[in-house]
Amino acid sequence: MMMDENNANETDEAIGNPAEDAVGEAVEDAAVEDAAGETVAANPQPIPVPVPVDPPAEAANGSDPEEQAKRQIPGYQILEKLGAGAMAVVFKARQISLDRIVAIKVLPKKLSADKEYVERFYAEGQAAAKLNNPNIVAAIDVSEAHGYHYFVMEYVEGTIVDDEIKAGRVYTESEALGIIIQITRALEHAHSQGLIHRDVKPKNIMITNDGVAKLMDMGLARLATDADAIQAEAGKLYGTPYYISPEQILGKADVDFRCDIYSLGGTLYHMVTGQVPFEGEDAKAVMIKHVKQKLVPADRVNLDISFGLVKVINKMMAKRPDNRYASTRELLEELESIDFLLEVENPSSSAPLPDLSGHAERPATKRTKAKSATAPVASAAAAQPATAVVSQQPAQASSTNATLVVCLIVSVLLNLGLIVLLLLKG
């Protein structure tokens, strides 16, 4: 379904008024793989890496490259193939020295002779190695052996957000916030180390079996202050069409952490609406819309989304970087505020309402056990005259109603406070 530009009400203006041909030229200059979410990139910054090597004789003789890779990576026992893409094959393996399971990304032979791809491959490993955060897939090693360039990383079992969306899942606001808040923490850590990811998208977010969100794939990451890289990349395009920021599309040299905020906003939009922010017939059409077309508010696609979250998404995806959040920390605090309000308004069944009557609250598990332990007492009370039992119920009901009324008032006041805060910031 194509987005209708006339239905949008975003107040942020498009960047300047670039001619469609100028944007199209920037897109045409990039190596666009496809418009379905694959990374767009061109000529990443040069870094010192091993010189590409020729394939071993076995591969030249027609042997299976994957089988060759399994035998050529020292110190690791390859267990199974996890997946393959245009740029790498990923294996599940056991690191023999530490007896632990890891994931190994191996660069295909056809790309090992391409200096550009080899540089990107090592850049990913080096960028990931600078980071130590529970919400970022950890890097272990990046090296080359017998003509195979490989990157060893933390092995994570779980699901990828992109796969869930493609299967038809639309995340509730609470579910999406639980994931996006974790990824914002990951980005805050990366940004504090001077790194920008530049390719935040559902395909690069994995949810472990324990519910931990992890940011993956640092293939386009670079230091925000790398002057040589900034100069080399001027006028070039990096990112993924559906989530790329306008300044990346236009090849701006001063791209910073705010491009990650934009892409994270596009990811959040997709999660809670089931639709990408902008659609088009091809990558070029999609990216032109990122630059020129206003965003259709998320609550026009999904009526269950709160006003607060709509405001946050709109600010994250402002066309001009200066109109976005001034820091990743500021964004994180606002997301956490909305999450808190949701919890107050819709407390989970496992978390009892707070006791505002002045009595100390007991954990839910203890209340359950206490109910079981007092069951015989309840039976004995049932044997007493009915008037004795009934006389206690009005007082209990009155206390419960008073607590619920107080909670409702607190919730309304918090909502009003958030709305006023968002309006002042907007």
CATH number of the domain enclosing 81: 3.30.200.20
- Which of 89, 122, 154 delimits the end of a domain? 154
Are 301 and 205 part of one and the same domain?
yes
Are 286 and 302 part of one and the same domain?
yes
Give yes or no for a contact between 244 and 9, defined as CB atoms under 8 angstroms apart.
Answer: no
Evaluate whether residue 141 is within a structural domain: yes
**Angle, helices 328-345/393-425, rounded to nearest 10 degrees:** 150
Evaluate whether residue 367 is within a structural domain: no
Are 190 and 316 part of one and the same domain?
yes
Do strands 100-106 and 139-145 pair parallel, antiparallel, or not at all (unpaired)?
A: unpaired
pLDDT at 33: 40
The closest of 314, 279, 305 to 422, measured between CA atoms, is 314
Are 196 and 224 part of one and the same domain?
yes
**pTM of this prediction exceeds 0.85:** no
Active site residue 226: no
- Which of 154, 189, 224 delimits the end of a domain? 154
pLDDT by 10-residue block (mean), the chain, 426 residues: 43 47 45 45 40 40 51 86 80 94 87 78 77 91 86 92 96 97 96 89 95 81 42 51 92 87 97 96 93 96 95 97 96 95 73 45 38 37 37 48 69 76 72
Evaluate whether residue 183 is within a structural domain: yes
Give yes or no for a contact between 222 and 45, defined as CB atoms under 8 angstroms apart.
Answer: yes
pLDDT at 414: 77
Are 138 and 198 part of one and the same domain?
no
For the chain, what is the domain count?
A: 3
Evaluate whether residue 72 is within a structural domain: yes
Query: What sign for the dihedral angle of Cα 360, 365, 367, 369?
Result: negative
Evaluate whether residue 179 is within a structural domain: yes
Are 172 and 33 part of one and the same domain?
yes
CA–CA dist 164, 156 (Å, integer):
17
Q: Which domain holds residue 287?
A: 5-43+157-345
Tell me, what CATH number does 299's domain have? 1.10.510.10
pLDDT at 111: 77
- Which of 122, 154, 186 delimits the end of a domain? 154
> ∠ CA(67), CA(71), CA(76), 5° rounding?
120
pLDDT at 263: 96
Evaluate whether residue 373 is within a structural domain: no
Are 200 and 264 part of one and the same domain?
yes
Are 201 and 327 part of one and the same domain?
yes
pLDDT at 393: 45
pLDDT at 348: 61
pLDDT at 177: 97
pLDDT at 108: 80
Are 146 and 264 part of one and the same domain?
no
Which residue among the candidates 162, 199, 217, 260 is catalytic per the annotation? 199
Are 220 and 280 part of one and the same domain?
yes
Are 306 and 188 part of one and the same domain?
yes
Give yes or no for a contact between 318 and 245, defined as CB atoms under 8 angstroms apart.
Answer: no
Evaluate whether residue 299 is within a structural domain: yes
Are 72 and 217 part of one and the same domain?
no
Evaluate whether residue 246 is within a structural domain: yes
